[in-house]
Amino acid sequence: MRRRMSASTQVCEATAASRIERRRNQSFARFTHHCVMRSPSLKFLKTFQLAASKGSFKIAAEELCITPSAVSHQIKLLEDQLGIALFDRGPHSLTLTEAGNQYLLHLDTIFSKLESVTEQIQVRYGRGVVRLHVPPFFASEMLLPRLPEFLNVRPETDVHISTTAPVLQAHPAEADLSVVVGVRPEQGVSSYLLFPQKFVPACAPALIKHDPIREIADLNGRTLLVHEGRRDAWDQWTDAFGFAPLRPRKLIRLDSMQATAHAAEQGIGVALVSSALGRERFTQGSLMKLFDRELATGESYFLAHRAEDGQRQEIQDFTRWLLDHFAEPL
């Protein structure tokens, strides 16, 4: 009787132990699942970082290519996950809470480190990437027509080109290489002279086929085109050569040098065009120089990169190629 009870007791104890172990496993699984579910989404964190640093859901939405309501929704989900309010939302205001400020400081450091590590891994183990920032007119007139040549020589290098700023006056932090325009090389970066900034009067050949322009006085009564960023360029040009200011029939300002050159090609008027950047149009005959007198602005185009980036092979190769193709002989 004692042995049967002992065996029965052993069975009961084994069953109880099994139940306890199952409960422990289930509790651990629920705990692990809970922890994983509470881990914030990387996408939501990036959305919060952008919105917090810009102080605007709208600006963050534009950079992320989503709607402001989507930004608001993602941040609300993040706040629900954390159980913490990150923003104080007013009728016409958006401010970070104390917790939001602290969270942003840490996220800035984390994302900066992540970007740095990612770039190092790409450079060491993956394809080379060169981030190039250039003025739009330089890109369309000089870089893009010749870029396939470089890509054929260096197929293992990817090139990311940005032309968002009309004229760069300083090397951007987010660029590896850039073409900047200034009076002198920027301090603190490696700079290489490409060519001086000069402007020359030009127009479509058809514009003067029946009404030629032979001397500067013939520009009076004509439609003149000028880049919005250089409104006084025509006055500077005439003043540089000792002529009286022109009296145009119309003066049309355009917001980009590319649009100015294109308008001249269409026969709309006479434009002051960059001598170097307009060279291809002069060669093809879509534009013709009216005079040899060039307005020297005192500025030049420079190729720039950070000194430490000059150690990267893809930067060295791209720099050499750009200088070979676009730097004018001294």
Tell me what the mean pLDDT of segment 79-96 comes to.
Answer: 89
Residue 189 sits at φ, ψ, to 5 deg, of -135, 160
DSSP state of 219: G
pLDDT of residue 24: 55
Of 36 and 206, which is predicted with more confidence? 206
Residue 214 CA from chain centroid, whole number: 44
Q: What is the pLDDT of residue 19?
A: 57
In order of 2, 3, 4, 8, 258, the CA distances from 16 in angstroms are 21, 20, 18, 12, 82
Helix 68-82 vs helix 42-54: angle between axes, to the nearest 10 degrees?
120
Q: Which conformational region is residue 221 in: left (phi greater than 0), alpha (psi within -120 to 50 degrees), or beta?
A: left
Please give the CATH number for the structural domain made up of 130-330. Answer: 3.40.190.290
Do 42-124 and 130-330 agree at the fold level?
A: no
CB count within 10 Å of CB 237 equals 23
226: CB partners within 8 A, 6+ apart = 233, 234, 251, 252, 253, 254, 260, 271, 272
E-only strand ranges, the chain: 87-89, 94-96, 128-133, 157-162, 177-182, 190-203, 223-227, 250-254, 270-274, 288-289, 295-305
pLDDT band at residue 251 under the 50/70/90 scheme = very high
Model pLDDT for residues 260-305, shown as the tens digit of each residue? 999 999 999 999 999 999 999 999 999 999 999 999 999 999 999 9
Tens digits of residue pLDDT in 156-190: 888 999 987 667 788 888 889 999 999 887 888 99
Q: Does domain 42-124 have CATH number 1.10.10.10?
A: yes
Nearest alpha carbon to residue 181 among 136, 232, 228, 236 = 136
Q: What would the two tokens of residue 175 be?
A: 């660029």
Return the domain boundaries, the chain. Answer: 42-124, 130-330
The reported pLDDT for the residue numbered 121 is: 73
* pLDDT per position as a tens digit, 108-137: 888 878 876 776 676 666 667 899 999 999
How large is the C-alpha radius of gyration of the chain?
A: 32
pLDDT at 29 over 80: no
- Cα(47)–Cα(32) distance, rounded to whole angstroms? 26
pLDDT of residue 329: 83
Name the residue among 176, 192, 179, 109 with its Cα closest to residue 138: 179
Q: Which of these, 136, 129, 99, lies nearest to 255 by C-alpha position?
A: 136
Pick 219 or 91 by higher pLDDT. 219
Q: Is the pTM of this model over 0.75?
A: no
Q: Write down the mean pLDDT value for the chain.
A: 85
| Torsion over CA: 320, 324, 327, 328 (sign) | positive
- Distance, in Å, from the CA atom of 234 to the CA atom of 271, rounded to the nearest integer, reads 9
